Structure 1
Amino acid sequence: MTLDALRLEVPDILDEVAAPLSDLNERLSEARKQSHESALHLVLGLLFSLNRSAMTLLERQRALQSLSEEYRHYADFYRQGGTPPMLFVRFCGEMAVGFKRLLLQILQGRQPSRPHLAWCLYMAQHFLAQSLLRHYQLYQEPPASLWRDSHLLYWIGERQDCLDEPVAAAFHPLPASTLRGLYQQMLLLALSNPFHLAEGESPLLFSALAPLAKLGRLLSWDDEEDDAEGPIVDLSESQACLAFEQPVEGDPTYLRRFELGALLVALHEPAPLQTDEERELLQRVRHHWMGRQQRRHERSDQVGDCSLVVGLPAIHAQLLEHRPGHCAAQMLDTSPGGARLLCHADQGRLLPVGQLVLLLSNSGTPTLALLRWRHQNAEGLHLGLRYLKGLPRPVWLRRSPSTQTHPGVLQSTPVAGGGWNHGLWLPNGQFSAGENLWLQLVSVNNQAALPLPPANLETASVSRHPLKLA
């Protein structure tokens, strides 16, 4: 199965004749004069009809913008903690349907602008988020289609590079301001054991998560990362995250690990705009985000100086004992799976998420690691490292036996029963999968010819290719 925009759940067009829109605003104004429930019923009926009528892209967009204003008006009735009726939940769902249909029209057009596409993705996700929130507020299980569509909207945003495009949307309860943040706001709400929240706490928690949710990251799946912490999201499933006991059997293309390190650090920082109620609620639900087993490895405080060799070329030089420049850091805590460091904020440009580093400490051998998350505050730049188990060795690569050399790092890990697993780390974009290369270990005269296999782990900076060496 592949994820495709056409899998978005939208109803069939029942009326091929375009709906008249000239009196739409007048009809919406007339509805407001009715009682709240009657008005909501009239607006929902109008929206239901429009979503099943043929309309041009511009007509649908203008109609949905008018109905978004109506949504704000009716949502104000529940700002003081009132429980919305199912009629309002259906209104949220129909608003999501409208924006999903608009999205399909945009995608079928000619090269939509990224801000326009990001806005439509965001609006569709926002009304799915509202539907999710209101189901939880009524202590009802959300429909499976809600998560299928939410995952798909995230997937489209990922493919269209729209996840971090800011969107100004004055809604309440407060949503995050990007598609990434809004989607992760939904995931965190679902992970917070929402059916055990007291009445009125779901909207409060949703608002409290808004400024924090964007700090999380959904990282690409890595089969060898079996000791990592964090919820697992399968974008092809009809649930928020895989249950803790659920086996991971999905296509790795659609698997993501929800990295919460930066978010968990930010929870302890001063937040002047956060109320005491929000702060208490966040502290109460945070332990649910990692599942019942908080960490696979026990973390231990280990404060001490260390340094980082940053980037593959510098690591290659360090392994050759050429002494490249180091980045000074302080270790705050460690576990067998990784560590948390603190370094100067000025180092941020050298340390994007996904960077390959070599950790040098006074006690122990150099450790190859990937930067999993980062978060900057008044203390400096916090870094979360994932250790890459195995022996790192410098290698040279050539496109033919006598051409220019390129540095690489070979990560070799022993396997039970004898033998080794090898992973070749290369800078992104330097070589293509299937390209024939010549590999030479340092201090070895012979070169081995091999076709470069597809990467089994790729970040914004480096890629790892599995090798079979004699």
Structure 2
Amino acid sequence: MTLDALRLEVPDIIDEQCVPQSELAECFSNARMASLEAALEQVVSLLFRLNRSTMTLLERQRALQNFSDEYRHYSLSQQSHTPPPVMYIHLCSELAIGFKRLLLQILQGRNPSRPHLAWCLYMAQHFLAQTQLRHYQVYQEPPPSLWRDSHLLYWIGEHQACLDEPVAAAFKPAPSPTLRGVYQQMLLMALSNPFHLHEGECLLLFSALAPITGLARLLPWDAEDDVEGPIVDLSESRPCLSLDQSVTGDPQYLRRFELGALLVALHEPAPLRTAAESKVLNHVQQHWMGRQQRRHERAEAPSNCDLLVGLNTIHAQLLGQRPPRIEVQVIDTSPGGARILCHSDRAKALQVGQLVLIVNSSETPTLALVRWRHLNPAGLHIGLRYLKGLPRPVWLRRAPVAQTHPGLLQSTPAIGSGWHHGLWLPLGQFVEGESIWLQLANSNSQKILPLPASNLSTPLVSRHPMGLG
């Protein structure tokens, strides 16, 4: 199965004659003079017809902007602890439908601008988030289609590089200002055991999450990554896989929900966070990673060590050269990884997905991958995932006497006998199926091998399983 925008759930066009654009303002004004229930019913009826009518992109966009303004008016009456009216939930759902249909029209056009696309994706995701939130307020499970569409909007945003495009949207309760943030706001709401929250706490939690939820990351799936945490299947009709569910989905749609940076930020001073918001965050965070929050026990063992950052620097270190190092402080460790703290000026070098080598005076150097990072007044906090195995420097060529390229061979003993090998390369330096000449740094011989598909990649490096015989 391939995820694409055509899977977005929108109703069929029935060419029903909708209210002309010029008459919308008068209809809205007349509705406001009625009771809240009657007013919402009138507005939802208008939007229902509009969503099923043929309109140009510009006409639909202007109409939806008008309905969004009207939504802001009615949302002011929905900030109390009382459950929202059924028609208000329908209004959120129909606004999501409208922006999904607008998104399809934008994608069918020629070369849509990224800000325009990001805005439409965000608006559709925001109203799906509101629909989810209002269902939780009345203690109802959101429909499965809500999660299918939410995952798909994230997928489109990921492939269109729109996840972190900021969008100014003055809604109440406040959503996160990016597509990534508001989507992860939905995931965290779902993971917070919402049906056990008291009345009013859903709104409180949604607002409390808004400033910090963008710090989390959905990382590519890797079966060897044994760090505990939620797993999202973007092709499923639910927020995350259950704790006891085996992972059987297509790896290209699987993501591990990395919460490390968010959990650090959660315990930082936050002057704008109210005491009630802090209380509800502290209450729900225990649910975010399930009943067993960590597979490996974390040991607080402050110490100092050095980091070699980047594939080329690690390659030089393993060859016995003396490349520059970064001094860091280890905060805590576990068999699966470590949390470190370093000076904030290292933020540019230590990106998520960067390959590093941990070096200290008493232990064998350890290869690791940056999982998450968070910057605060104390410095740059980094979460590292250990990569098991022995790292060795190798040289790669496209021909026996062509230019050399550095690589790292990560070798792990296999059960019984032999070794598993993974070849680390800069992302995009070679292509799948290309024949490469591989030479170990301490050997004069070369071996020609076809480069297999990557089994782990980040924005900076990729790892390819190699059979060296």
Asked if Structure 1 and Structure 2 have the same fold, meaning a TM-score greater than 0.5 normalized by the shorter chain, the answer is: yes
Unaligned runs of 5+ in 1: none
Superposed CA deviations along residues 257-282 of structure 1, whole A, max 9, x for unmatched, are 00000000001101000000000110
Match of 1:100 in 2: 100
Match of 2:372 in 1: 373
Superposed CA deviations along residues 50-90 of structure 1, whole A, max 9, x for unmatched, are 11111111111111111011111111112132320111111
* C-alpha contact (below 8 Å) 1:164/1:180 kept by paired residues: yes
> In the TM superposition, what are the counterparts of 1:71-150 in structure 2 within 5 Å?
71-150=71-150
* Counterpart AA for 1:346: D
Superposed CA deviations along residues 440-463 of structure 1, whole A, max 9, x for unmatched, are 112212111001111111111111
- Give the drift of 1:142: 0.5
Q: Identity across aligned pairs (percent)?
A: 69
> 2:306 & 2:56 partners in 1: Cα distance?
59
Match of 1:34 in 2: 34
> In the TM superposition, what are the counterparts of 1:4-83 in structure 2 within 5 Å?
4-15=4-15, 19-83=19-83
Cα gap change, 1:45 to 1:18, in 2 (>3 Å): closer
Superposed CA deviations along residues 312-355 of structure 1, whole A, max 9, x for unmatched, are 01100111111211000000000000000000001111111000
Match of 2:195 in 1: 195
- 1:445 is aligned to 2:444: yes
Unaligned runs of 5+ in 2: none
* C-alpha contact (below 8 Å) 1:192/1:288 kept by paired residues: yes
Q: Secondary structure at the match of 1:211?
A: coil
Q: Secondary structure at the match of 1:29?
A: helix
* Counterpart AA for 1:419: G
* C-alpha contact (below 8 Å) 1:456/1:464 kept by paired residues: yes
Superposed CA deviations along residues 342-383 of structure 1, whole A, max 9, x for unmatched, are 000011111110000000123311000000000010110000
> 2:175 & 2:186 partners in 1: Cα distance?
10
* C-alpha contact (below 8 Å) 2:19/2:46 kept by paired residues: no
* Counterpart AA for 1:139: Y
* Counterpart AA for 1:424: L
* Counterpart AA for 1:179: L
> In the TM superposition, what are the counterparts of 1:29-428 in structure 2 within 5 Å?
29-225=29-225, 227-428=226-427
> 1:313 & 1:232 partners in 2: Cα distance?
32
* C-alpha contact (below 8 Å) 2:16/2:49 kept by paired residues: no
> 1:198 & 1:338 partners in 2: Cα distance?
37
- Give the drift of 1:25: 1.0
* Counterpart AA for 2:101: R
> 2:34 & 2:402 partners in 1: Cα distance?
80
- Give the drift of 1:15: 1.3
> 1:87 & 1:210 partners in 2: Cα distance?
25
* C-alpha contact (below 8 Å) 1:309/1:315 kept by paired residues: yes
* C-alpha contact (below 8 Å) 2:18/2:49 kept by paired residues: no
Please, what TM-score do these two structures have when normalized by structure 1? Answer: 0.99
Please, what TM-score do these two structures have when normalized by structure 2? Answer: 0.99
Q: Secondary structure at the match of 1:438?
A: strand
Cα gap change, 1:18 to 1:89, in 2 (>3 Å): closer
Superposed CA deviations along residues 371-398 of structure 1, whole A, max 9, x for unmatched, are 0000010110000000000010010111
* C-alpha contact (below 8 Å) 1:184/1:214 kept by paired residues: yes
Instruction: Write out the 4+ residue segments of structure 1 that deviate beyond 6 Å after TM superposition.
Output: none
